[in-house]
Structure 1
Amino acid sequence: MNIDRALMMFAGIMILISLLLTHFVHPGFVWFTVFIAANLIQASFTGFCPAAIIFKKLGIKTGCAFK
Structure 2
Amino acid sequence: MTVNEGLRAMAGFFILLSVALGNWVHPAWYLFTAFVGANLLQSAFTRWCPAMAILRRIGLREEAPRESTSH
| Structures share fold, TM-score greater than 0.5 | yes
Whichever residue aligns with residue 55 of structure 1, its letter is L
TM-score (norm 1): 0.91
Matches within 5 A, 1:18-29: 18-29=18-29
The corresponding residue for 1:16 is 16
1:5 aligns with 2:8: no
Give, in angstroms, the shift of residue 9 of structure 1.
0.6
Whichever residue aligns with residue 59 of structure 2, its letter is G
SS at match of 1:62: coil
The structure whose Rg is larger is 2
TM-score (norm 2): 0.86
Give, in angstroms, the shift of residue 23 of structure 1.
0.5
What CA RMSD, in Å, does the superposition of the two structures yield over aligned residues? Answer: 1.2
Q: Structure 1: 5+ residue runs without aligned partners?
A: none
Distance 2:9 2:57 in 1: 17
Give, in angstroms, the shift of residue 22 of structure 1.
0.1
Deviation beyond 2 Å, 4+ runs, structure 1: none
Give, in angstroms, the shift of residue 15 of structure 1.
0.2
Whichever residue aligns with residue 27 of structure 2, its letter is P
How many corresponding residue pairs? 64
Whichever residue aligns with residue 6 of structure 1, its letter is G
Whose helix fraction is larger, Structure 1's or Structure 2's? Answer: 1
